[in-house]
Amino acid sequence: MGIDQGKVIVTGGAGFIGSHTVVELALAGYTPVIIDDFSNAERSVLDGLASILGREVPCHAVDCNDGERLNELFAAEGPIRGVIHFAAFKSVGESVHSPLKYYRNNVGSLTTLLEVMKAHDVWDLVFSSSCTVYGQPDTLPVTEDTPMKEAESPYGRTKQICEELIGDVVKAEHPVRAAVLRYFNPIGAHPSSEIGELPIGTPDNLIPFITQTAAGIRDELIVFGDSYATADGSCIRDYIHVVDLAKAHVKALDWLARKEKRPAQEIFNIGTGSGASVLEVIEAFERASQQRLAYRIGPRREGDIEQIYANADKAEQVLNWKADCGLEEAMRDAWNWQVALDRKSKPVD
Ligand code: UD1
């Protein structure tokens, strides 16, 4: 066993990115403690984590808007080395129809969490932000200094507001040191196939839709438009393996601990640095899984950005983090996870 790096509260730790981060934290010698209200996660994730790590991960079923419960929990769990705040809603489409749900959950929970951190003298925060804060940028790749455009959705706006909220708290000399990670498009699954993406209902995101279509759960994938100003006409994103993304959180916590104890905020793009089109993703999936995918070209999706990918040099220089996995590897892990899920859901004779 290595040196104990201390206890880390992981809100939303039963979610897709959260659960993979819990694994990487534990492997790096931290003691993760999950807080998740299971509004958009399955309890079976905890079994997957226990299989990978060979031990149970402590978990509290608490809503991060519940300040009283959070206070009790911080008191009971202390001393706490830091907090990684994933817990948030993330459906762009739903946020357009239910903006208050997004403001309450995404902005409300961060406010409550920062109050509780202050009360318990917990300084280090890693915050889940998104490349959605850039809107459709004028120049690519985007750096952390690329100006934010007006958000395309209430979801995107909550992420912009949360970043500004943290900035205001830091300026007021409240005790917080924050690393804000702007994720590009997380995909893939843990190579053990014990944890992965578990969308409830019809997936909004591309990769679970692809794997569910190949598994026969969906009839076909609709490619949302092929008349964009890109080489093949489909949209371009920066797809990053979720394990690479998870490792960035560990690097961010390590880095925060090395900093002087005074309020500060730094923003990092967490992407691979290269873009892939929807049609290229489909090709990578077919190669990695040896499956043919049923798809057709459909109309554009409202609010979609034509193309975005990261300049992630700052994360490499400051955090010493860089994405390792390629697209095909991520598609292989996503497919293996889908196959494992199907196997679990079928009754054994
Ligand atoms: C968006 C946000 C991201 C956010 C995520 C949460 C941007 C740039 N990105 O990701 O920050 O965290 O939502 O859900 O705002 N596609 C299809 N057919 C499908 C599904 C998707 O062609 O059935 C295409 C989309 O048009 C897009 C790509 O696949 O080009 C990826 O889509 P998706 O997985 O939904 O993620 P984003 O919309 O990029």
Per-residue pLDDT of the chain (349 residues; tens, 9 = 90+): 568 889 999 999 999 999 999 999 999 999 999 999 999 999 999 999 999 999 999 999 999 999 999 999 999 998 999 999 999 999 988 999 999 999 999 999 999 999 999 999 999 999 999 999 998 899 999 999 999 998 889 999 999 999 999 999 999 988 899 999 999 999 999 999 999 999 888 998 999 999 999 999 999 999 999 999 999 999 999 999 999 999 999 999 999 998 888 889 999 999 999 999 999 999 999 999 999 999 999 999 988 889 999 999 999 999 999 999 999 999 999 999 999 998 888 755 5
| Cβ of 205 less than 6 Å from ligand 1 | yes
Q: Which ligand 1 atom minimizes the distance to the CA of 186?
A: 12
Please list the alpha-helical segments (H only) found in 54-182. Answer: 67-77, 92-97, 99-102, 109-119, 154-171
Question: What is the C-alpha to C-alpha distance for residues 142 and 134, in angstroms, rounded to an integer?
Answer: 8
- Cα angle: 342, vertex 48, 238; to 5 degrees: 75
| Ligand 1 neighbour 305 (Cβ under 6 A) | yes
Q: Candidates 94, 224, 279, 300: which one to mutate for ligand 1, based on the most atoms within 8 Å of Cβ?
A: 224
Question: Given the CA of residue 224, which atom of ligand 1 is nearest to it?
Answer: 22
Q: What are the domain boundaries of the chain? A: 6-340
Cα of 349 vs centre of ligand 1, distance in Å, is: 39
Model pLDDT for residues 239-275, shown as the tens digit of each residue? 999 999 999 999 999 999 988 888 899 999 999 999 9
Distances (CA, A) of 116 to 7, 69, 72, 343: 16, 10, 10, 42
Residue 136, pLDDT score:
87
As a whole number of angstroms, the distance between CA 219 and CA 9 comes to 40
Q: Is 295 a catalytic residue?
A: no
Q: Could you give phi then psi for residue 108, rounded to 5 degrees?
A: -60, -45
Q: Is residue 301 within 6 Å of ligand 1 at its C-beta?
A: yes
pLDDT of residue 117: 97
Question: Which residue shows structure tokens 């500060």?
Answer: 264
Close Cβ partners of 41 (under 8 Å, ≥ 6 residues apart): 12, 14, 15, 18, 19, 198
Given CA atoms 102, 103, 105, 109 in this order, what sign does their dihedral have? positive
Give 6-340's CATH code, choosing from 3.40.50.10470, 1.10.540.10, 3.30.950.10, 3.40.50.720.
3.40.50.720
Nearest residue (CA) to ligand 1, atom 34:
205
Residue position matching structure tokens 């318990």 = 120
Whole-number pLDDT of residue 348: 56
Digit-coded pLDDT (tens) for 64-95: 999 999 999 999 998 999 999 999 999 988 99
Specify the pLDDT at position 21. 98
List C-alpha distances in Å: 181 to 84, 92, 116. 10, 19, 21
How large is the C-alpha radius of gyration of the chain? 20
How far is it, in rounded angstroms, from Cα 183 to Cα 130?
A: 5
Tell whether ligand 1 has an atom less than 6 A from the beta carbon of residue 245: no
Q: Is 295 in the pocket of ligand 1 (CB under 6 A)?
A: no
Q: How far apart are CA 333 and CA 318, in angstroms?
A: 29
Model pTM score: 0.97
Count Cβ atoms within 10 A of the Cβ of residue 318 and give its class: 0-12 exposed, 13-18 middle, 19 or more buried.
Answer: middle
Which candidate in 102, 155, 228, 309 is catalytic?
155
